[in-house]
Amino acid sequence: MSNVITTKCAIIGSGPAGYTAAIYASRANLAPILVDGPQPGGQLTTTSEVENFPGYPKGIDGNQLMADLRDQALRFGTVILSDRVTDTDLSVRPYKLTLASGKTMIADTVIIATGASARYLGLQDEERLRGMGVSACAVCDGFFYRGRRVAVVGGGDTACEEALYLAGLAQKVYMIVRKDHLRASNVMQQRVSENPKIEILFNTNTTGLIGEDFVQGAHLVENVGTEHESRFDIEIDGFFLAIGHQPNSAPFAKFIKTDKAGYIITKGISTATNVAGVYAAGDVADPRFQQAVNAAAAGCRAALEAERFIFDNGSTLPPAL
Ligand code: NDP
Residues 111, 9 contacting (CB under 8 angstroms)? yes
Residues with catalytic roles? 137, 140-141
Phi/psi-derived region of residue 156, left when phi > 0, alpha when psi is between -120 and 50, beta in every other case: beta
Segment 250-257 shows an average pLDDT of: 96
287-313 pLDDT per residue, tens:
988 889 999 999 999 999 999 999 999
Atom of ligand 1 nearest to the CA of 157: 26
Helical residues (DSSP H) of 256-318, grouped into ranges: 292-313
Query: CA of 189: how far to CAs of 93, 168, 186, 245, 289, in Å?
Result: 48, 17, 5, 20, 20
User: What confidence category does residue 1 fall into, taking pLDDT thresholds of 50, 70 and 90?
Assistant: low
Q: What's the 139 CA to ligand 1 centre distance in angstroms?
A: 17
Q: Which has the closest alpha carbon to 239: 132, 139, 116, 119?
A: 132
Supply the pLDDT for residue 50: 83
Nearest CA to ligand 1 atom 2: 244
185-221 pLDDT per residue, tens:
999 999 999 999 999 999 999 999 999 999 999 999 9
Nearest CA to ligand 1 atom 28: 244
Phi/psi-derived region of residue 116, left when phi > 0, alpha when psi is between -120 and 50, beta in every other case: beta
67-102 pLDDT per residue, tens:
999 999 999 999 999 999 999 999 999 999 999 999
Q: Which residues line ligand 1 (CB under 6 A)?
A: 121, 153-159, 161, 178-179, 183, 243-244, 287
Q: What's the 256 CA to ligand 1 centre distance in angstroms?
A: 24
User: What confidence category does residue 47 fall into, taking pLDDT thresholds of 50, 70 and 90?
Assistant: low
Supply the pLDDT for residue 321: 47
Nearest CA to ligand 1 atom 33: 157
Judging by DSSP bridges, how do beta strands 245-247 and 116-118 pair with one another? antiparallel
Q: What's the 154 CA to ligand 1 centre distance in angstroms?
A: 6
Q: Is the pLDDT of residue 184 over 80?
A: yes
Q: What's the 184 CA to ligand 1 centre distance in angstroms?
A: 7
Atom of ligand 1 nearest to the CA of 244: 25
b/e per residue, 198-208, with b = 16+ CB within 10 A?
bebbebbbbee
Supply the pLDDT for residue 320: 56
Q: What's the 286 CA to ligand 1 centre distance in angstroms?
A: 15
User: What confidence category does residue 52 fall into, taking pLDDT thresholds of 50, 70 and 90?
Assistant: confident
Residues 55, 105 contacting (CB under 8 angstroms)? no
Atom of ligand 1 nearest to the CA of 122: 18
Q: Cα–Cα distance between 248 and 12 in angstroms, integer?
A: 11
The C-alpha R_g of the chain, in whole angstroms, comes to 22
Q: Which of 158, 179, 222 to mutate to test the pocket of ligand 1 (most atoms within 8 A of CB)?
A: 158
Residues 174, 236 contacting (CB under 8 angstroms)? yes
